[in-house]
Structure 1
Amino acid sequence: MELYLEKLRAEDVEELFVFECSNRAFFEKTVPSRGEDYYTFETFQKIFYELLQEQFECISYFHLIKNHEGTIVGRMNLVDIEKDKELGYLGYRIGETYAGRGIATKGVKLLLTEAANYHVTEIHAKTTPDNIASQKVLEKSNFSRSSIDENVAQTDFIHYVWRHTN
């Protein structure tokens, strides 16, 4: 499947809201819920425009993973960028219909290529112990397991790190 990353734009708000709502139950099987308010359009729209502001300020970069038809199949984000350390944090989610097809791995690799444009040479990521698919994606993408936090807000997390090598 041909995939590409597209930076989040104001025109994406409605399509992304539909994507998030239609995949909510699937996402919440492996990651903590974003809460009931997130799934009301008014709240989602407010959060969405805050994300665009972060992107404008180069604090975070939000991407949609799209297929050759231009359909959103997932999200790939580089957030909380610490410019002085050239460090950022990875977050991603793939829609249920597209899970298990290598899309997350391809999306992460596309984002790692973009990281140089954002002057980021180190990326941290975390996942829950039961999210084996995400662990495999990170390991295939040359992330190294760095630590495990137990019982952080009732959830355990496995931490990973990737560093750019010349």
Structure 2
Amino acid sequence: MPELQRLRPDHARALLAFERENRAYFALSISDRGDDYFAHFAVRHQNLLTEQDSGLSHFHVLVDDSGAVLGRVNLFGVTDGSAELGYRIAERSAGQGLATAAVRRICVLAAADYGLTTLRAVTTLDNAGSRAVLTRTGFISTGDVQLNGRPGLRFVRDLRRALNDSALDGEGG
């Protein structure tokens, strides 16, 4: 069973492999990170860890038993008990419920460990999978948004129920 882990320095190699292997797949639904991202990955990874240490963001990887990264689930723009949620799952792992399980888990972590009360997310209208994940995990659409010139939706999730929901599901925090 894949495990959601807080981003650490030793995730760098597996995370870079994940991003390279899935670059074209991710570019179908979100903006490409660009060549500079890959050329300077080590510096970027260290910057993310520094940002995480400051409490401005909480970065996570979904890893399998071998340590390979199957996905990312990130909370960024942390302020006033709120954060933006972003996630991506490897092409080979898509459609297996991993995103839904990881987002449910991050909602519990956000409330229990990070003291957040609200998460926000956005996705394009043509990303049916992402919209389904958000809906299944308790996010509510709050309006339209443009993402890189593409129509999308804005979502919000009240986390005050996240801890109670996880206890009912037997998930625990």
TM-score (norm 1): 0.92
Query: What is the one-letter code of the residue matched to 1:31?
Result: I
Once residues 159 and 58 of structure 2 are traced to their aligned partners in structure 1, the CA distance between those partners, rounded to angstroms, is: 18
Once residues 158 and 96 of structure 2 are traced to their aligned partners in structure 1, the CA distance between those partners, rounded to angstroms, is: 25
Once residues 36 and 86 of structure 2 are traced to their aligned partners in structure 1, the CA distance between those partners, rounded to angstroms, is: 20
Identity %: 33
- One of 102, 105, 130 as aligned partner of 1:134: 130
Query: What is the one-letter code of the residue matched to 2:55?
Result: C
Residue 49 (structure 1) aligns with: 46
**Post-superposition offset of 1:57:** 0.5
2:14, 2:67 within 8 Å by CA — same for their partners in 1? no
Aligned length: 160
Cα RMSD of the aligned pairs, angstroms, is 1.2
Once residues 14 and 73 of structure 1 are traced to their aligned partners in structure 2, the CA distance between those partners, rounded to angstroms, is: 13
Residue 81 (structure 2) aligns with: 86
- One of 78, 99, 114 as aligned partner of 1:118: 114
Once residues 60 and 46 of structure 1 are traced to their aligned partners in structure 2, the CA distance between those partners, rounded to angstroms, is: 17
Query: What is the one-letter code of the residue matched to 1:104?
Result: A
Corresponding position: 1:144 with 2:143: no
- One of 34, 55, 59 as aligned partner of 1:58: 55
Unaligned runs of 5+ in 1: none
TM-score (norm 2): 0.88
Task: Extract structure 1 runs of 4+ deviating beyond 4 A.
Answer: none
Unaligned runs of 5+ in 2: 162-173
**Post-superposition offset of 1:39:** 2.2
Once residues 14 and 123 of structure 2 are traced to their aligned partners in structure 1, the CA distance between those partners, rounded to angstroms, is: 26
Residue 72 (structure 1) aligns with: 69
**Post-superposition offset of 1:121:** 0.7
